[in-house]
Amino acid sequence: MATIGYARVSSTGQSLDVQLDRLVHCDKIFQEKTSGTTAARPKFKVCIEYVREGDTLVVTRLDRLARSTLHLCQIAEQLQRKRVELRVLDQNIDTSDATGRLLFNMLGAIGQFETEIRAERQREGIDKAKARGVAFGRKRRLSDQQICDLRRKRKEGVLIKGLMAEYGLSKASVYHYLSKPIS
């Protein structure tokens, strides 16, 4: 009956220190720096395989564990099959009793709702900015005239490698300028 901790941050620039300080009481801690939205969380996979019946998996917050309510429920089911309890420190959740399991599911659903609302607001903001004429992405490196020259030279047989050197572009950028309409 061990206490196993799992700590995760989304990017390499972030620090695990705060989570690790809160998990110091755990017998073993699995940690990684990877986005929760990616399917590949190798340390989490090892952690789930490691826990045994009677163990308790401890995380600081629910969003460190799963990327959606569905994913959270899948993890909960996996832990339940293995007879492993879950404790979430910040939300004071302990799935060893009925109240903890209820709170776990409610907070998971609320977290998913918040994520979806945030994504909708972001999309609305982007749409409004585009309607106002705000340009997104990098600025073009070539003028319309340069693009025309680049296309003419390619039709004349100049190699992509030569166009890359002449215009200071990557291979992908040359192909991009050759295929996209001039705006």
User: Looking at the annotation, which residues are catalytic?
Assistant: 10
Residues forming a β-bridge with 33: 9
Stretch (H or E) spanning 47? helix 42-50
Token pair for residue 132? 């106002």
Read out DSSP for 55-111?
Answer: -EEEESSGGGT-SSHHHHHHHHHHHHHTT-EEEETTTTEETTSHHHHHHHHHHHHHH
Q: Which residue in this structure is represented by tokens 């190699």?
A: 159
d(CA 136, CA 133): 9
